[in-house]
Amino acid sequence: MNLIKNPILRGFNPDPSIIRVGEDYYIATSTFEWFPGVQIHHSRDLVNWELVAHPLRRTTQLDMLGNPDSCGVWAPCLSYYEGTFYLVYSNVRSFDGIWKDTPNFLVTTQDILGDWSDPIFLSSSGFDGSLFHDDDGRKWFTSMWCDHRKGKFFGGTLLQEYDPVQQKVVGKAVQIFPGSELGITEAPHIYKRNGYYYLITAEGGTEYGHAVSLARSKKIEGPYELHPSNPVISVREDPSAPLQKCGHADLVETPNGEWYAVFLVGRPLTQRGRCVLGRETAIEQVEWREDNWLYLKQGVAVPRLEVPAPAGVELQPAAAFPARTTFNDSSLDRHFQSLRVPVEGSWLSLTDRPGYLRLYGRESLSSFHRQSLVARRVQHFQAEVSACLDFQPTHFQEMAGLVAYYNTSHWVYLHLSGGEDANHRYLQLIYCDNFDMQEKLAEPVLIPKSGEVYLRFTFDYGALEASYALEENQWMPVGPVLDGTILADDYVRGTDRYRPAFTGTFVGMCCQDLSGHRKAADFKWYEYVEK
């Protein structure tokens, strides 16, 4: 028997939405402030997954300039109907205070790997928008409802019809589900089966109280009755389970009639501790029973690390991401993303110096606007991430290097800069914990004024160590072993449960020129090795 090993999408890949078209499965996940927006992974066996697309690639589709940390693209909903793919997503513009700015949009395409349409605005009443295609051809938009009155915030689930001819929602939006006693009701999806409309929601918050709730009704507008054993997926009562934070689910049926649920999870380093890899995507078998309710097939609501794959399916391994990325192609590998704005020739070039990725220095690591930074996710508890840098700074405001990044206030930066000594460059290590920027070297390491420098971060569960080399593989440690768990949602969010902190650890190549003169840095290669 073939087994699916959880998580199926490792590292920062939360809020999964799954569909099947013929023999092909696709999962869309949230990207928040990272551009291009929405990750789409593909599989033909539910075991092996490959990143194949980012549908939101133009600023006409996704304008995130100035978006705060952990805002941007929330909870995409992927669906398919009569030859067209539909993608609903939120572009959260602000989340502080009692009011939230959460516009929801719809884009479409006939080719999931190709270009998607310009967006259609749907509603800003809440986030986690979803589109349901009824069997009579009508389409329904649902979302959670932001209700700021009396500090409530989560106001249940809203339903409104979408008119594809007028390309807008029509009629009155109505609340169809107030939520269960678990509260914090979000991420609604509707399904129809055996005469019932089923409403699946995420409840309990996206931390250790997270859960998948299920309700049903004979009418789409309700009233909805709650599952007799709600929640249907949750580990809120089992702190020892290896997969925690289970919630935000979606359902898919295989060609031979088996059912699976995908949902987000976290893997803490200690019991209900910090999840340094962020929120990931896992899968479980589910089944419909004679009472017309859905249950985990194994009989309990706690997901497993290994799940039986669909019966009779031949495994089809996905293409492996190469350990070392060189920059000889005309486009950047899709595993790399930028912050808030698209990669453009004005700040990143693969041709100005052939064989190198050139970054023109722009704004600081604290900027919500125009950073020159490209990065990929950390997806393993033990990993080495390194890069080869050629950079000749002449001023302390000119910096370039390797950054382990969570958001604008939590990062670790190993970089070169200039200084008073014209015969040397300065290698420095800065540790930023909630904007407290600590220089971790008593004195900068002096590096000859020319020549390539190798930079590396080594992740060992919660420990993070920096090193450098002047000859490849001749590594020397830089500074102390650091606490890498400051790059986890759990730490960043702290005691404020509503503070946005929903992403994960990235390691990026970046360049700053705080003088505004656009000093350039060249990277020869970038390497990610699972240990």
Residues classed as catalytic: 15, 186
With beta carbons less than 8 A apart as the criterion, state whether 204 and 247 touch. Answer: yes
DSSP per-residue string spanning 404-463 = EEEETTEEEEEEEE--S-TTEEEEEEEEEETTEEEE-SSSPEEEESSS-EEEEEEEETTE
With beta carbons less than 8 A apart as the criterion, state whether 27 and 262 touch. Answer: yes
Identity of the residue numbered 455: L
**Unique residue bearing structure tokens 């450098």:** 468
Alpha carbon 94 to chain centroid distance? 18
Nearest to residue 361, comparing CAs of 507, 509, 517?
Answer: 517
Classified as helix, coil or strand, 486 is helix
DSSP H or E segment with residue 492: helix 489-493
End-to-end distance of the chain based on CA atoms, in angstroms? 28
Beta-strand relationship, 72-81 and 84-92: antiparallel
**Unique residue bearing structure tokens 């299920």:** 214
CA–CA dist 195, 529 (Å, integer): 50
Residues 6+ apart with CB under 8 A from 241: 235, 302, 303
CA–CA dist 37, 500 (Å, integer): 18
CA–CA dist 365, 482 (Å, integer): 19
